[in-house]
Structure 1
Amino acid sequence: MLGFIVRHLLRLIYRVELRGREHYDAAGPRTLILYNPGSIIDPLLLAAMLPDRITLLADRALEHKWWMRPVCALTDTQFFDFASPAATVSLVHALARNGRCMVFHSGSLGNDPRYTRILEAAGVIAEKASASLLPVRIDGAISSMFSYSRHKGRRRWFPRITVSVLEVQKFSPVEGLPPRERRRRMGERLYDIMTELEYRSGMDRRNIMQVLMDAVALSGRRFPIAEDQDRHVLTYGALLLKLSVLGRAFRRLFRGEKRVGFLLPTSLPGLVAFFGLHSAGFVPAMLNFTSGISAVLSCCSTVQLSFVLTSRRFLAMADLTAMEQALKDAGLRLVYLEDVAKNLTLSDKLFGALGAWMRSAPSTPGTDPAAVMFTSGTEGVPKAVFLSHVNITSNRYQALSMLTVGAGDKLFNCLPMFHAFGLGICTLLPVLAGVRVFLYPSPLHYRIVPRLFYESQSTIICGTDTFCAGYARYGRPYDFCHARLVIIGAEKMRESTRSVWLEKFGVDLFEGYGATETSPLIAVNTPAYRRAGSVGRMVPGLACRLHPVPGIDEENTGVLWVKGDNVMLGYMRSAAPGVLEPPVDEDLAAAFAEGATSDDGAGWYDTGDIVHVDDEGFIFIRGRAKRFAKIGGEMVSLAAVEEALREIWPEAVLGVVSIPDPRKGEQLALVIDTEDVTTSRIAAHFASRGLSPLWTPKRIVSVKQAPLLGSGKFDYRKAKELVLEKG
């Protein structure tokens, strides 16, 4: 009777709906129920909505909580100390005796050591009792007044709640390991299931403007979402108003266009302009103003741009007047934010204010492009990477399912918005998730960034090894006293950088791995699970395959291919402007055509990195299959550098290799069979061509005879040995 009353009250108040009843009926007699914890009413929801009376295995710390009384009335509740090994036997007996059990603790899914211990205990229970695992996804409860994160943002009184029973999972035992290691491995497996469940429960396939409107409704218009170095604060309400008004002006200025070039720094105006373009239905093409004039012009041509949105103040401060003139000479129309602000009409302001008040968002499909990023491949010219709304939002949920980040945090973003990490993780993730963000235009100011991080009381920062080493060199010991999470990506993290951060700031660094084509996160180490020398474990919702590499016989090693919601829509190349090439594995496609496989190869992306994946899923990068170098986090094509050098010495035999650099991760070295070659001459030529200074080789080795293979091709391995021998 009590269950009947509670069930109908929940349906009345929260409009609770049960889905996937057939999966519950298909579960065996011994089933361990797993769910994505988000609120203290989770066990009440499951007890009331599931057909049978379940046994609740609860943390002893909850025994005297008042809100546990109705839960105990609806379930057969048993309290245990999950940290006690003796409790495991009792838990196994309870599962074997009662059939359907659920483990409950007071805490959200995250990197809490107590939570990982509970997962380990649950894994032992499932294995010892030969139980199946039944995942249950609860949507909506985390937004209620009973949410675990209720103190971090505004909650809803009566959100709609859905309880979805997913397919039964079989839990295979872990053999041949010591008991302690087996316990840890089983907890790790359950953690993977829970993060996958967390990702699937949060995944949103709408466009980013619709997701932004939800964030505003949840956190409130007065929530201070963004701040800059001038201490200007942008609330959600101000962001909505400004983007709506700008969107009206953009709609008039860029009428008939699909994409608009975006040449702005990481700043409050840049943030507003990005969302303003989306509110007007345009796709921002994020131009890398550090890549050189020729690269920017190539990018504009590749995606067929007619307009570039920029700022006079920014162009002057960044000394980009030559690029400004080159864009104009190429026939592109530059639109300056200062002029847009001055020429706003009364209609723009009135209808923009109305749209902000109504929280109106365009109905753009989530599968449409949301941003165009640019990268360089081995052919030496920029490629356009088209990322969809789903790509960006999925990567946000993938990151948040593994990393505990909430509205109580503040993310310090000094990475450029033209970089996938700077845009997807450091800008859009916090703004769409209700996490405050501090915007600063350059990561290269090693003396200023640490001071601003301290003054802004930020808790999270992302960057490259080069940047973090610079911050450690000039930062004061207390500058990062508020730091809770520091993530390193784009280049290999040196152990010396991690050691100095631990010694000077008392802060640990976590290495991750990504690519522009994956929006960008692929893998990351977390406080709960990390492995020295690795880039972490794969994010949920992302499948991987390893293509074998001739000459490499190491087990579970090969070129990494990935497929998932965060993998790009495709490339657009300079050789075929306007033509989108979706990612595909040609080998799988050929096998599918012959009927040898059920996978047609569509959606698979080749990362170009040779990796090793250990038994626990940690990824170790062994090398790069493609010829490029990452200098200070920026990708540099060795083939493109060689082509530019041949313009100076067309008759010479030359080759460019990358060698380790103690500060920037890698540096370029030139091996050439010509004398009187100097870096100053190369730098002057590159500057005249509008090429990036990063392309200039820092080491030059002149030889009488260039190293060649038997086939007549340049021997890069021998060239690298020559450079290293010269010291």
Structure 2
Amino acid sequence: MTSGSPLMGDILERNALLYRDRPAVIFEGRTITFGQLLEQSQTLASAMRAAGMRKGDRVAMLAMNRAEYVDFYGACELTGYIAVPVNFRLAGPETAWILNDVEPSVLLFEGQYTSLLDSIRAELPATMRYVCLDSEGRPDWAEDYAGFLAAGTKQAMPERPHPEDPLCIIYTSGTTGRAKGVIRSHAADAAQAYSNSFELGITPGDRFLVMMPMFHVGARGQQIAAHWHGAALVLHRGFDPGAVLATIEELKITVTHMAPTLLHDVFEHPDIDRRDLSSLKTLFYAAAPMPVDLLRKGLARLGNIFVNGYGSTEIFGITLHKHDHVLDGPQHLVNRLKSVGQPAMNTEVRIVDEDGNPVPPGTIGEIAMRGGACMTGYWNNHSATAKAMRGGWYHSGDMAYADENNFIFLVDRKKDMIISGGENIYSREVENALSEHAAISEVAVIGVPDPRWGESVRALVVLRSGKSATEVEIIEHCKAMIARYKAPKSVLFVKELSRLANGKIDKITLRRLYGKAES
């Protein structure tokens, strides 16, 4: 154990000592105890050391949710190695950019991504070792995972991390069209685990169902919250509403995390009325607002078990608690549902003006946050770090106001950001991809209301003189350039794009003209 506040590696060891034979991870019918999780994490960590890795070296994971994901994080929690989860939904050029930016010593990957990696291997770091997690279909240029582990032992590692050492680098989309690697230290992840577990009321007897992708800070944050108090993590490979309902009933799930879009699909599933969901005590939602009609349906079916969270990969900071989910009652209580909540444990939140000065209640400004769970900065991006962390506060770019009780009300989101199905999509990134189409002269991307996804991506396209293109052609072009979920779901062809006096595209006018779902 380290001295001072515990880190996630200390928690891993503590759980193995106190709850050795209790379930730590339940995945596809397999149960891994806390004792086994520690041994597996130590084995993977020592195998990395045998492969030549040393403190500060990076190891990447390209996979859907699976039990090995927890070992991957655990190995880095016990050492000074840095975990880099890679979004499996990204296109080849995006994946190559991240791997070249972070230069991992080892890449752990699933066999299903062999073709993707093979198409970009010539561009990737020459010294990177490829380790395939699946024995079947393993390419000849990759090592077998079992063989890689054979070089490791179950013994504790000789080196332990310091609180300020990086634990993971999680890439998040940036408004410039390039992903930014958010550096999260061992201390920051421990602080987030504590804060999340406190806000959600996690206990050792809980069973926490996670189906959101483990490359995302949301799922990672819930995994460490569960293990902070020795609760079991029930991991699904991906989201399947029928499987979610069955698992809640069969394994008596007490806590889960879903974006509102996923909850909508669960409630629309034909099994909803025949499944016993009474074990659920907390349903945490984030990534997008909860529509009032969906919340009303959820409260009627599940009771007052909802908790909303606001934050980002950089820092988790604001919570709307169960007792604040009031649909009928005094107006000042009902109005709180329009907020994202109050500052979470261990996080300071203030609304500031352009100079970073706090503004009075009711005044719109930018949300700024600081606390133990805040990132260290952005990997290889000092300018973005300096801009985001001005004065020691993380500046979110979200505009909001606070009321007299410090409930935070969002009034606008980060510039040009679209939230579709809980995923942040930045219009600049989509515009950059579309601009490479030979027939497109100009393009602007906006979000439009979508009954299922909350928002969907719409491209407004000005074609080059004498050129032609169809909606389908443009969408497919975009899917080849960036992740498919970021591509437009609709394309409108326009003669010109509205502009401001300074020549910049006027997206306020474009949203007014073309931002309705029926356009």
TM-score (norm 1): 0.63
Q: Which residue identity lines up with residue 342 of structure 1 in the other structure?
A: G
What are the equivalent positions in structure 2 for 1:20-169 lying under 5 Å apart? none
Task: Specify which structure has the higher proportion of helix.
Answer: 1
User: With CA pairs under 8 Å and 6+ residues apart, which has the higher RCO, 1 or 2?
Assistant: 2
The aligned counterpart of 2:81 is 282
Aligned to 2:498: 707
Q: CA deviation at 1:297?
A: 1.2
Residue 485 of structure 1: how far off its partner (Å):
0.3
The aligned residue for residue 152 of structure 2 is: 348
Deviations 1:265-289 (A, max 9, x none): 3221221232124445311111111
Give the superposed CA RMSD: 2.6
Out of 279, 285, 288, the residue aligned to residue 491 of structure 1 is 288
The alignment status of 1:414 with 2:211, answered yes or no, reads yes
Question: Contact 1:629/1:636 (CA < 8 Å) preserved in 2?
Answer: yes
Q: Distance in 2 between matches of 1:271 and 1:438?
A: 11
Larger of the two Rg values belongs to structure? 1
Supply the distance in 1 between the matched residues of 2:149 and 2:353 (Cα, whole angstroms): 58
Name the CA distance, whole Å, in 1 between partners of 2:187 and 2:478. 39
Indicate the residue corresponding to 1:187 in structure 2: none
Shift of 1:649: 4.6
Amino acid of the structure 1 residue aligned with 2:339: S
Q: Residues 363 and 275 of structure 1: is their aligned pair in 2 closer, same or farther, counting only changes over 3 Å? A: same
- 1:312-341 CA-partner distances (Å, limit 9, x unpaired): 3xx2xxxx3332213423234311235231
Q: Could you report, residue by residue, the CA deviation over 1:139-180 in whole angstroms, capped at 9, with x for unpaired residues? A: xxxxxxxxxxxxxxxxxxxxxxxxxxxxxxxxxxxxxxxxxx
Structure 1 residue 290 displacement after superposition: 0.9
Equivalent position of 2:254 in the other structure? 459
Distance, in Å, in 1 between the alignment partners of 2:340 and 2:80 is 37
Query: Which one of the candidate residues 312, 321, 343 is aligned to 1:526?
Result: 321
SS at match of 1:640: helix
Q: Is the 8 A contact 2:197 2:228 kept in 1?
A: no
Structure 1 residues 585 and 281, CA, compared in 2 at 3 Å: closer, same or farther?
A: closer
Match of 2:229 in 1: 433
1:329 aligns with 2:122: yes
Deviation at 1:677, TM superposition (A): 4.4
Q: Which amino acid aligns with 2:432?
A: E
**Cα pair distance change 1:503/1:204, threshold 3 Å:** farther
Cα distance in 2 for partners of 1:494, 1:285 equals 34
Q: Which residue of 1 aligns with 2:107?
A: 308
Q: 1:605 aligns with which of 354, 373, 394?
A: 394
Task: Name the counterpart of 1:268.
Answer: 67
Deviation per residue, 1:206-227 (Å, 9 max, x gap): 432123212333x331121211
Structure 1 residue 505 displacement after superposition = 4.0
Partner of 2:247: helix, strand, or coil?
helix
The answer to whether the aligner puts 1:379 opposite 2:203 as a matched pair is no
Change (3 A) 1:653 1:245: closer
How far 1:567 sits from its partner (Å)? 0.8
Contact 2:284 2:307 in 1 (8 A): yes
Q: What's the offset of the Cα at 1:700?
A: 2.2
Is the 1:679–1:698 contact (alpha carbons within 8 Å) kept by the matching residues of 2? no
8 Å contact from structure 1 (residues 392, 566) kept in 2: yes
Matches of 1:301 and 1:205, distance apart in 2: 34
Secondary structure of 2:192 counterpart: helix
Q: How many Å apart are 1:507 and its aligned residue? A: 5.6
**Whole-angstrom distance in 2 between the partners of 1:688 and 1:403:** 40
Name the CA distance, whole Å, in 2 between partners of 1:406 and 1:207: 18
The one of 667, 672, 677 equivalent to 2:456 is: 667
> Match for residue 682 of structure 1?
474
Does the residue aligned with 1:532 lie in a helix, a strand or coil?
helix
How many Å separate the matches in 1 of 2:132 and 2:440? 45
Cα 1:432–1:265 change in 2 (3 A) is farther
Change (3 A) 1:700 1:221: same
The alpha-carbon deviation at position 306 of structure 1 amounts to 4.0
User: C-alpha displacement at 1:417, in angstroms?
Assistant: 1.2
**1:679 shift after superposition:** 3.3
SS of match in other structure, 1:516: coil
Report if aligned partners of 1:407, 1:435 keep a CA contact under 8 Å in 2. Answer: yes
Report the CA distance between 1:712 and its aligned residue. Answer: 2.2
Residue 493 of structure 1 and its aligned partner are, at CA, apart by 1.2
CA distance in 2, matches of 1:411, 1:613: 32
CA contact (8 A) 1:250 1:277 kept: no
2:31 aligns with one of 217, 220, 233: 233
1:463 maps to amino acid: M
Q: Which amino acid aligns with 2:61?
A: F
Structure 2, unmatched stretches of 5+, are 136-143, 326-335
Q: Which amino acid aligns with 1:216?
A: A
What SS does structure 2 have at the residue aligned with 1:673?
strand
2:194 corresponds to which of 373, 383, 397: 397
CA distance in 1, matches of 2:161, 2:39: 20
Q: Give the equivalent residue in structure 2 for 1:537.
A: 342
CA drift at 1:481: 2.1
Deviation at 1:438, TM superposition (A): 0.3
Distance 1:469 1:549 in 2: 38
Name the aligned partner's letter for residue 119 of structure 2: A
